[in-house]
Structure 1
Amino acid sequence: MDIRIRQAERRQAGFELVDLESLVVDEHPVRAVWCFVEGLDLRVFYDRIKARGETPGRPATDPRILLALWLYATVDGVGSARALARLCEHHTIYRWICGGVGVNHTMLSEFRLDSAEYLDGLLTSSLAALMKEGLVTLDEVITDGTKVRAAASRSSMRRKQSLSELKEKARIRVAELKQELEADSAAGERRVSKRRLSAAEDRARRVAAALAKHPAEPQQEKDQSEGGEPPSAGGKSDKQSKEKPKQERVSTTDPDAPLMKMADGAVRPAYNVQVSSACGFVVAIEPVQRRNDRGLAPAMVAQVERRCGKLPDRLLADTGAMTAADIVMITQTHPSVQVFSPPPARKQASKPQSKARYERNRAAEPPCLKHWRARMDSEEGKAVYKRRSNTEHVHARLKNRGFGRMVLRGLSKVRIACLLHAITHNLIWAISRRRALKTA
């Protein structure tokens, strides 16, 4: 019995009619992203466009499309400009954003790098709108740091001597490629040589940047006296004198990224991103190169005040994030802010002299520190501090969208990615909160 089937005819020419508007449902988040972008003032980008009137040149791509692409790409956890450009060709949602306008990875990358100042202002203005709507209040602000992997591997970390050797090798390689380029007359081979030379020059620039970023070597103390004799019995032992000082290593891929211990115990090049949240929204964000959070909370409080126009009533921070000096300074400059951060655990002193010295130091503390210790010893203070763990939910939502690893290199570029993630998180979280309030 003969069967009837429909077989593929890939060489058959035909026309395809596509209505992009009908391919995206009304409740899709991309429509909220586009509605958000349509309400923004993008004059700073429009003023840069040179294609005007009868001036020669091709029309520019609408900045609203580029900004919407990056915002929705952040929702999807896409941080690569090349990956985003491929999605704009094949993915229905990204094609809907483009609306038939072609984009490429160079255009997308340049737009993202040029939008640093605008994104900083956008985070501030969007927080003002959320506060006016009542979704964000500053009754409690939680600040905490989260480690984010850099776009570099641990094998790219080099000591100063290795960097100097790599710099010399890169210089020799660039000189050799320049000679080959001058001696080669074939057009095809010249293009290959140019690409090799460009790659070698980029390598040389990165090695030079890493070498320039390398910290100065500590001056070693002389182990011998003026007469050339070894130190006396009160000096260092022979074993200690032979130990070499620990040398810092700098990445040739991302010189700004130091080695940090991650949550899984591994040591990798990373950034410590400080995140301040309130009501589940990110109200301040800043990547730093510090390996711990100690002493960073006051700067985040200042950023919260700058973005939101007011100070928080209560500040929740992890143990060790607030030093005694930080609490004294915040109390003097912002008396209305109550700090909830547990004091470091007291070490059990074995000697009576140590215990007496500890009690004397406690008695000499200013009143604000005594009030802080009493607050954290109370049941109410402990109940308030338990809510500090709510910031972990914010960190998890950010990392579920690709925040756990950066694709950009350099502290300034990483800050752009952090701003994009903060704006996107607030946008999606606002949609969720509005929906919850409507159904309540």
Structure 2
Amino acid sequence: MADDKLFGELPEQPAPRANAAPSGAPRLREPKRNQIELRAVDIESLIGEEHPVRVIWAYVEGLDLSELEDRIKARDERPGHPATSPRLLLALWLYATSEGVGSGRALERLCESQDVYRWLCGGVSVNHHTLTDFRIEHAVLLDRLLAEHLAALAKAGLVDLDTLAQDGVRIRASAGAASFRREATLDRHLATAQAVVDELRREVETRSDASNQRIKAAKERAARERLERVKAAQAALADIKRQREAREDRRSNGKKPKEPRASTTDPQARVMKMSDGGFRPGYNVQVVSSAGEQIVVGFEVTNVGSDRGLMRPMQDRLRARTGRLPRRYLVDGGFGSAEDIEWAHDQGIEVFCPPTQSKHGTDPCLPRRGDGPGVLAWRTRMASEAGKAQYKPRSICECIHARWRNWNLRLLTVRGIEKVRAAVLWYALANNILQGHRLANA
């Protein structure tokens, strides 16, 4: 009765119908990407405490970069826009190298889009011109930092400089196979390029219109650079001829050699056999590392396709760099030059190099007529089980090449041996920083 008095005047509610279709438009939360938001971001919390970029920044923070900072003209009350910190540029390229980034434009985009690079920049904007110039122009500084970091690792007992391993890796050059031309073709290209440069220079000097003059000046500069590359290719071709004549004087097999060619894109590049068996323009990067620790002790960039004869020049560079020579030196069979082995024996270095198989099927470790004391000791050493066991760590040095491949060191984006060497220095220093950190924490 109480319920009837309280709710008697309410209208009767209909029972819900099963599977009834809803009426009206649905209310949904749709994305709206044209709106502007203000966010509060803690840059320090963008990356974790164990992130590799913190290792690189901690290394860069402790460096003395006064030689770069002294070149900056904007100081105190003097006019001028503040320069980008060299410490920041160094850290950006070291981390970008370890991530396989080798382009200034790509790095500029990453600094705007990815949290790791935004953490490094800390609100500082960078442009690709500054980044690209910094990557190539400071090879002397990078070489000094590499030597100082190696000395610090050796002092801490993390690397053993008594046993070193040398190995070469071929890297594709920034030059097409079609850019290699013979002498007659280079002469024609030189005459054409010189005529274009002269014509454009006359047009620039006679035209008064400013915009057209800038366009003509740009074309004249491009033609002049083309002319300089053709001249460099001619000089490289003459050098190739001299080297070929010297080899033919030492040994002649009676075959007529092919006419030499040089590249008009990268005159210092040479066609050489790559790891996959193909022949392409490239550079031969010789790397010396501490056997077992994967730390780069030294390297050199050459345009010689063969490793034979490159052991002694590298040891001379090591002595000039570290002030000492190793006691044991591990190389593969491609470095097996009797002259280099004899020289190393005279210097007190034990060379571990597998001898090449004889064409007659004889044991390559047996003494041969004309062997000197160094070669005899080397053959005896490689025939023993102890010598074979000491040679095994050599394969570990190839992990550095594999790491660089993973960092996209497959195709060079710069031309010329000096610029290639500057680019490889970034890979060597980044490798030692991260690998040294792992060794210290092991």
Q: TM (normalized to structure 2)?
A: 0.84
> Deviations along 1:96-138, whole A, 9 cap, x unmatched?
2122222222212222233111111111110111112222112
Structure 2 CA distance, aligned partners of 1:14 and 1:379? 70
The one-letter code matched in structure 2 to 1:28 is: H
User: What residue number does 1:323 align with?
Assistant: 337
Specify which of 339, 346, 353 is matched with residue 332 of structure 1: 346
Cα distance between partner residues in 1 of 2:86 and 2:229: 31
Say yes or no: does 1:61 pair with 2:84.
yes
Partner of 1:299: 313
Q: What are the superposed Cα offsets for residues 25-55 of structure 1, whole Å, 9 maximum, x if unpaired?
A: 2111111111100011111111211222222
Letter in 2 for 1:280: Q
Query: Which residue is 1:269 aligned to?
Result: 281
Show the counterpart of 2:427: 421
Matched-pair contact (CA < 8 Å) for 1:320–1:343? no
The Cα shift of 1:67 comes to 0.5
Match of 2:333, SS?
A: coil
Q: CA deviation at 1:411?
A: 0.3
CA RMSD for the aligned pairs? 2.8
Percent of aligned pairs with the same amino acid = 46
In the TM superposition, residue 434 of structure 1 has moved relative to its aligned partner by: 3.4
Flag structure 1 segments of 5+ consecutive residues without an equivalent.
222-239, 351-358
From 390, 397, 420, the equivalent of 1:391 is: 397
Matches within 5 A, 1:125-204: 125-182=148-205, 186-204=209-227
- How far is 1:302 from its partner? 3.1
Q: Distance in 2 between matches of 1:182 and 1:5?
A: 68
User: Which residue is equivalent to 1:259?
Assistant: 271
Structure 1: distance between partners of 2:261 and 2:29: 63
Q: Which whole-Å CA distance do the structure 2 matches of 1:366 and 1:67 have between them?
A: 49
The alignment status of 1:115 with 2:114, answered yes or no, reads no
SS of alignment partner, residue 71 of structure 2: coil
The yes-or-no answer on 1:311 pairing with 2:360 is: no
Separation in 1 of the partners of 2:193 and 2:113? 40
| Contact 1:286-1:418 within 8 A present in 2 as well | no
SS at 1:320 equivalent: helix
Q: 8 Å contact 1:280–1:429 — kept in the other structure? A: yes
Alpha-carbon distance in 1 for matches of 2:183, 2:372: 45
**Partner SS state of residue 215, structure 1:** helix
Partner SS for 1:402:
coil
AA matched with 1:205 = E
CA shift, 1:200, in A, is 2.2
Cα separation, 1, equivalents of 2:203 and 2:87: 45
Could you tell me how far 1:295 is from its partner in structure 2? 1.3
Counterparts in 2 of 1:425-440, with a 5 A limit?
A: 425-435=431-441, 437=442
Structure 1 equivalent of residue 3 of structure 2: none
Structure-2 separation of matches of 1:9 and 1:291:
58
Aligned-residue offset at 1:309: 4.3
Q: CA deviation at 1:175?
A: 3.2
* SS in structure 1 of the partner of residue 301 of structure 2: strand
Contact 1:127 1:308 in 2 (8 A): no
Is residue 24 from structure 1 mapped to residue 47 from structure 2 by the alignment?
A: yes
Give the SS at the match of 2:186.
helix
2: distance between equivalents of 1:88 and 1:184? 42
| SS of aligned partner of 1:137 | coil
**1:392 offset after TM fit, Å?**
1.7
Q: Which runs of 5+ in 2 are unaligned?
A: 1-21, 246-253
Number of residue pairs aligned between Structure 1 and Structure 2: 407
Contact conserved, 1:81 with 1:108, CA < 8 A, in 2? yes
Q: TM-score, normalised by structure 1?
A: 0.85
* Alpha-carbon spacing, 1:17–1:171, altered in 2? closer, same or farther (3 Å): farther
Contact 1:142 1:391 in 2 (8 A): yes
Work out whether 1:375 is the aligned partner of 2:381.
Answer: yes
Q: What amino acid is the match of 2:190?
A: K
Q: 1:300 to 1:152 in 2, by over 3 A?
A: same
The amino acid of 1:212's aligned partner reads A
Q: Whole-Å Cα distance in 1 between the matches of residues 85 and 301 of structure 2?
A: 30
SS in 2 for 1:144: strand
Shift of 1:191: 4.0
Judging changes above 3 Å, is the alpha-carbon distance between structure 1 residues 56 and 318 closer, same or farther for their aligned structure 2 residues? Answer: same
- Return the alpha-carbon distance in structure 2 between the equivalents of residues 318 and 426 of structure 1: 23
Please say which structure displays the higher CA radius of gyration.
Answer: 2
**Paired residue secondary structure (1:260):** strand
- Deviation track 1:74-103 (CA, whole Å, cap 9, x = no partner) reads 101111222222222222222221222222
Q: Distance in 1 between matches of 2:133 and 2:105?
A: 12
**Closer/same/farther in 2, CA of residues 13 and 80 from structure 1, 3 Å limit:** closer
